[in-house]
Amino acid sequence: MSTAQETTGGDVEPWEEVTPDAARRLLVAAVEAFAERGYHATTTRDIAGRAGMSPAALYIHYKTKEELLHRISRIGHDKALDILRTAARREGTAAERLADAVGSFVRWHAGRRTTARVVQYELDALGPEARAEIVALRRQVDAEVRGIIEDGVASGEFDVPDVQGTTLAVLSLCIDVARWFNVNGPRTPEEVGALYADLVLRMVGAG
Amino acid sequence: MSTAQETTGGDVEPWEEVTPDAARRLLVAAVEAFAERGYHATTTRDIAGRAGMSPAALYIHYKTKEELLHRISRIGHDKALDILRTAARREGTAAERLADAVGSFVRWHAGRRTTARVVQYELDALGPEARAEIVALRRQVDAEVRGIIEDGVASGEFDVPDVQGTTLAVLSLCIDVARWFNVNGPRTPEEVGALYADLVLRMVGAG
DNA sequence: GGCTCGGCTAAGCGCCCGCTCACCGTCGGC
DNA sequence: GCCGACGGTGAGCGGGCGCTTAGCCGAGCC
């Protein structure tokens, strides 16, 4: 189980920061619908129906369908960044911190797959300003992982010829979990997290 | 440049097997539109417009919009599988064959990014029968890569505790290139292919 | 020259989309 | 007991969707 923490599954039901209750139910319904069919293929009638409300109710809590996606994407990226920061800033060697970061990041992408799918794959559906805000968060995500790898190179733990390229590959590997992970498949999020932490340590020459 | 071949960029303009000319123009227009905005967000009017034709012209050559996606997906998967097979069945050590497979597979995903995006990310938009056909092709893709890794383990070249999981990760890494690769970015498809071949050899313990 | 026929277009059908608006039930405050 | 505020609904608007149909045009054949 490597360095499992409560960073992923331990916290209470997510979206608790969204109030009032009806707004949260609509948002959770939208996450499910967007993850299943994609943003453009999801209708406002479908979202409202999943939340047990009439189509018009959506517009009491959100100005447009796009605002729903924006809120989901913002909260999701905040959470993902928080997970990475927690791992990056703990004590330990660079290898321990990288394994922890990859493990918890992967557990989140697998365990909260519906959210992660929307967060990672529906960026292009946002308008220019909203997209710019999210892109800034992604740059911070990149910086956290790159920081750990740079630390490992500086301390001699890692052997990495192309730090930026390797950072990109590590993040790409983790993010793509949201595309293929199957809740009914043979692997648990914990198992995938442990496997990926090992693979990434090998990629940086610390395996 | 490692073991660069003409498997990717060297072949003539793709889609040459699609005839007549008008049908090919529509299909190329559809690939561009689907890659930019996604299948569901693309209208038949947009596709026809890009091909310089009226909306009705599409239905002379294709029964539905979904048939267009099916044809694109089928041809694209055939091409991707062909690239992998060529690398997997050449002569050489398992490490050479794996590096060649990853390098050429990545070069295709980066160099023909628009096609790869549609092929890899619009699978869910297909109906059940079409999707089943494509899923069967993907299993063959998986089998090719797994075969090389198994060869390397058998010969003692590789050290891989979880062959199926590592195969999944290698393919995931390559496929996700189609999501993030930017034609105007700092890296060429060849550079990414070489970087990824190196990273994958490290993942299997042959770096 | 007349005929056929495949490729293509203009027009439009029926449907469903995102979103709005007039209205309504409930509930705390006085 | 009345009132305003809030959260909700039913009906529907304007428009764009995938797709169809009637008919036009030019090339090939006799």
Given a cut of 70, is residue A146 above it in pLDDT?
Answer: yes
CA→C1' distance for A15 and D5 (Å): 27
Given a cut of 90, is residue A17 above it in pLDDT?
Answer: no
Burial of B17 (0-12, 13-18, 19+ CB in 10 A): exposed
Mean pLDDT of B108-136: 95
Residue ranges covered by each domain of chain A: 21-203
Is the CB of residue A54 inside 7 Å of nucleic acid strand D? yes
What distance in Å separates the CA atoms of residue A83 and residue A66, rounded to the nearest whole number?
26
pLDDT for position A77: 96
pLDDT for position A18: 72
Q: How close, in Å, is residue B20 to chain A by CA atoms? A: 31
Residues of B in contact with A196 (CB under 8 A): 169
Residues of A in contact with B40 (CB under 8 A): 37-38, 40-41
> Which two structure tokens, joined as six digits, stand for A151?
């630390």
Q: How close, in Å, is residue B21 to chain A by CA atoms? A: 31
Amino acid letter at A30? Answer: A
pLDDT for position B14: 78
Q: What is the pLDDT of residues B64-113, one digit of tens each?
A: 999 999 999 999 999 999 999 999 999 999 999 999 999 999 999 999 99
CA→C1' distance for B57 and D25 (Å): 15
Mean pLDDT is lowest, of A16-20, A177-181, B46-50, for A16-20
Nearest chain B residue (CA) to A122 = B38
Q: How close, in Å, is residue A38 to chain B by CA atoms? A: 8
User: Is the sign of the CA dihedral A207, A88, A183, B171 positive or negative?
Assistant: negative
> Which two structure tokens, joined as six digits, stand for B83?
């690239």
Residues in chain B: 207
Going by C-alpha positions, the residue among A102, A124, A101 that lies closest to residue A177 is A102
Q: How close, in Å, is residue A60 to chain B by CA atoms? A: 26
Q: What is the pLDDT of residues A87-117, one digit of tens each?
A: 999 999 999 999 999 999 999 999 999 999 9
Residues of B in contact with A41 (CB under 8 A): 40, 125
Is the CB of residue A107 inside 7 Å of nucleic acid strand C? no
Architecture of the domain delimited by B65-203: Orthogonal Bundle (1.10)
Residues 135-154 in B having a C-beta less than 7 A from any atom of strand D are none
Contact between B62 and B68 under an 8 Å Cβ cutoff? The reply is: yes
Is the CB of residue A154 inside 7 Å of nucleic acid strand D? no
Q: Report the alpha-carbon angle B4-B9-B13, nearest 5.
A: 160
Mean pLDDT is lowest, of A3-12, A111-120, A136-145, for A3-12
What distance in Å separates the CA atoms of residue A84 and residue A98, rounded to the nearest whole number?
9
pLDDT for position A6: 44
Residues 21-50 in A having a C-beta less than 7 A from any atom of strand D are 22, 48
CA→C1' distance for A50 and D4 (Å): 31
Going by C-alpha positions, the residue among A115, A126, A110, A37 that lies closest to residue A78 is A115
Element (H, E) at A25: helix A21-37
Q: How many CB atoms lie within 10 A of CB A138?
A: 16
Nearest chain B residue (CA) to A35 = B124
DSSP conformation letters of B95-107: HHHHHHHHHHHHH
Mean pLDDT of B145-170: 97
Burial of A147 (0-12, 13-18, 19+ CB in 10 A): middle
> Which two structure tokens, joined as six digits, stand for B31?
């690939």
pLDDT for position A21: 85
Given a cut of 90, is residue A3 above it in pLDDT?
Answer: no
Q: Which of A168, A176, A202 is closest, CB to CB, to B175?
A: A176
CATH of span A21-203: 1.10.357.10
The nucleotide lying nearest A65 (C-alpha to C1') is C18
